[in-house]
Amino acid sequence: MAVARARPRRAPGVGLPAVLARAVLPRRSHLNEEHVLIHQTHPADTHTDTETALCAAIRAYSSGDTTAAHSAAEQARALDPDSELARLLAVITAGGDAAGVYDSPAAFRAFIRGGGNIGLYEATSGALRELYRQHRPQRLLDIGTGDGMALLPALTEHRPAVGVVEPSAALLAETTAELTRRGIPHLAWPCTAQDFTATHTRRWDLVQSTFALQSLPEADKARVLRWIAAHTDRFVLVEFDVPEVASVWEPAWFRDCLARLERGLREYDDDRDLVGAGFILPVILGKFGTATPTNYELAIDAWEGLLREAGFAGITTRRLADYWWRPPFLVEAVTGAG
């Protein structure tokens, strides 16, 4: 709610935003009758409450039955006319499919420049700016730069030579144009993190990645992090802390997800349809098996484990801000030399 991710990013998090803690929800054997009901919901049923109608709509959509998904979404909308999630699900299912998450730079741009992302990116850039002031890197590499929303505001007091890695040509062009305008020496690589780290050999004083590496599958995460540990003494990661669940259909997780979605969608006014249908919902629907996932989020303690396995020794974490999806954390990791 974005990298050199396998594709351009981001959700803050959507990322969602945002990543596997160890707070696993109860297994189905412990569920009461109400819990069992949500698991046994069928798209063709006539539903009496919004939650079960939304569950049926998402289940149907995940199986490719957009007709049944649209019917259930319209039921949810009738049961709760104020539900923005139900309304946008009805819009998406009426059209037959959700847009690809990163197919619309306009949706991504509106997403990160509105709602809770304003405060989120201010906090992120401010933290990066302080790290640059403290450590004074001469060569800085940003993996998954996007359009530079986290990087560029941080380049004020200290302005190192910058390397940017970003698979979206449109987003990368915006970043490099601004770096050029500011007179900041830079190199740019229009590729994924996987492709970049497979061939690049230069060392960097500091490597950073903000809301980007969540988009890599686990095996790719491990390979990229090992490369980073071998090519810098200091790495800064910003990601969401997203707890692990046994199943996205677990009722407690599902209800919490619905509530967070409503909050996130309502943070946008004029751009709500663009952001909701073009970015937020495609990311979230990917979690329910509607498409190949665009995010493989982890809990911060899981990120710490991967960083240690990659070769980092000293690791510190701190929460950056409040956010509708999950809380964002800054993780600073150093090798023995750092």
For residue 60, is pLDDT > 80? yes
pLDDT in the model for residue 264 = 96
In the chain, where do the E strands start and end?
139-143, 161-165, 186-189, 206-210, 234-240, 314-319, 328-334
The reported pTM is 0.80
Tokens of 79: 């049961």
What is the DSSP code string of 110-179? HHHTSTTHHHHHHHHHHHHHHHHHHH--SEEEEES-TTSTTTGGG-SS---EEEEE-S-HHHHHHHHHHH
Tokens of 131: 């790290």
pLDDT in the model for residue 291 = 57
For residue 166, is pLDDT > 50? yes
For residue 102, is pLDDT > 70? no
When mean pLDDT is compared across 25-29, 98-102, 122-126, the lowest value belongs to 25-29
User: Between 295 and 12, where is the model more confident?
Assistant: 295
Please, which pLDDT band fits residue 154 given cuts at 50, 70 and 90?
very high
pLDDT in the model for residue 337 = 65
Closest CA to 267 of 107, 80, 82, 114: 114
For residue 16, is pLDDT > 50? no
Contact indicator for 313, 335 with CB cutoff of 8 Å:
yes
The C-alpha atoms of residue 206 and residue 134 are separated, in whole angstroms, by 12
Cβ count within 10 A of residue 113? 14
For residue 311, is pLDDT > 80? yes
Q: Which helix (H) or strand (E) holds 267?
A: none
For residue 232, is pLDDT > 50? yes
User: Between 90 and 32, where is the model more confident?
Assistant: 90
